[in-house]
Structures are given as structure tokens and as C-alpha cells.
Copies of this chain bind each other. A is one copy, B any other.
Amino acid sequence: MNAPERFFLPDIQATPDRRLVAIDRVGVKSIRHPVTLARLDGSTAPSVATFDMYVGLAHDQKGTHMSRFLELLQHHAQRPLDAGGIRALMDAMLQRLEARTGHIEARFPYFISKAAPVSKVQSLLDYDVTLQAQMNAQSRYRYTMKVVTAVTSLCPCSKEISAYGAHNQRSHITIEAELVPGASMGIEGLVAIAEAQASCEVYGLLKRPDEKYVTERAYDNPKFVEDLVRDIALALNQDIRIAAYTVESENFESIHNHSAYALIQRDKRIPE
């Protein structure tokens, strides 16, 4: 469809480039598009994603064709946005843009229905998810899933030194994981690892008996920012589906106007 117009309008991007500088990434950034997400149970859930889509450009090519990224996004938006969907989008992008390397990133909110710990009332909790795929010059494909989980952290030092009480706060635990080939893991899998190691999970809807439970649970389970990332790293180390990971915790300290922060990064394929 694009071809006939070339007879009438010059296609500058298709001309050769004499500067001989290859471009690592070129494409479109921050496009919002509705998406369908695949749930673990086989159902689907709608969301809205923000996409970045880039390809590598050889040193002798003048430019890429920006409109093709949009066409690709439209054609693939019907398909669930999971590991398989991102891979199909990558393959189509490399073919359509005649490129060897590529980079795709999709950021979106994801919702999980959670039961309150005592009353068991259900409510949704939101998680920020980033799916990222890269094809490098050696044709190595790398797919990572990043999930931000809000949790409660309660300070062990504050608990230990105080006659009563302990400062606690909302924390953001971010796990970015690359799976081993053939392994399967949903967003819920990373969320479960983060929530299991927090001082306490957070919830959308809590009744009073639930509020009593989460208050006491956090107090019984104090964790420094260092403990959060270490305990999650231990869990990620033991999960054989995960080949490499980064775990971060940012604690929005209730006694300061800044955050406490920790990060552990590990590639299990590299001997320590």
C-alpha cells in the first residue's frame, strides 16, 4: 500500500547515508495503546500500555520508517501482550523494518484481585509492569518482565529501640526477571515473591479486623530495606525458572522526606 506513493513523493529515508555511523536504536517512543493481557488462569484483562519500539540502523542507511512501527502496533494489539505476543511483535518488527536488532518496551498497570487477610473481602490491587524485549547483533533474544509491588515495610531498628510502636511506610519492590528458555511465569509469580517477603502485603479494601491483622503482622515481621532485597534475592535464587534478576526496594520513609533504597542484581548463568 505504501509503494505507489513513492512514485510521487520522494522517500528520503531510503537514500544511503555517508556519515557511516550506525544507530543503536531508532523508532517511536511513548505511544499509548489499549492492550489485552493474558492472565494465569487463561482469561484476559484489558489495560492501557505505553510503548517504545526501536530498531538498529546500519551505518549506510539514512533512516528508518516511523509509520511502520505504528502499523505493527495496530496489527498486533489484538493479540494478548505476554511473552509470546512480545516475541511475535519483535519478529514482525525486525522483518518489516529490515533490521537485525530491536528493542521493545511496554509499560502498563495490571490488576490482581486479592482477598483481605481476615474478612476475605475481595478487592483489586494495581501493579506497574514493564515488559522488555531485545534482539542483539548476535541474534540473542532477551525478554524481561519487571513488576513494581507496593508493600508495607516496618523498621526493625525503630521497633527495637522504642518503648512502643515502630515507624513503617509504603515501599515499592521492583523485580526485573529474565526467565530461562522455555520457562513460564506470570506477573502474579513475581508479585507473590515480593509480597511473601514484605513486612506485610498492602490491599485495596480492608475492614477493621483486617486492619488489626496487617498492623500486627507488620510489627511481628520488621524488615530493613536490606532485608527486603536479600530475602527476595534468596527466593529468586531458588526459583529455577529465573535466569537473571534485579531486585530493588524503595522505602518512602515515614520519618524522613527521602527514601531508603537497596538493589541486588544477579545473573545466575555467570559463576560468582
**B257 contacts A119, CB within 8 Å?**
no
> Which of A122, A152, A208, A254 gathers the greatest number of chain B CB atoms within 10 Å?
A254
Name the residue of chain B whose CB is nearest to the CB of A224: B63
CB distance from A126 to the nearest CB of B (A): 4
- State whether the Cβ of A188 lies closer than 8 Å to any Cβ in chain B: no
Secondary structure of the A contact surface, majority rule: mixed
Q: In the complex, A174 Cα to B168 Cα: how many Å? A: 22
Q: In the complex, A231 Cα to B47 Cα: how many Å? A: 35
CB distance from A25 to the nearest CB of B (A): 4
> 0/1 per residue, A252-263, Cβ < 8 Å to B?
111111111111
Report A213-267 residues with CB < 8 Å from chain B CB. 214-216, 218-219, 224-226, 229-231, 233-234, 250, 252-265
**When A111-B34, A158-B211 are in contact, do A163 and B202 touch as well, CB less than 8 Å?**
no
Q: Which of B57, B168, B233 contacts A168 (CB 8 A)?
A: B168
**When A168-B167, A204-B31, A205-B67 are in contact, do A26 and B255 touch as well, CB less than 8 Å?**
no
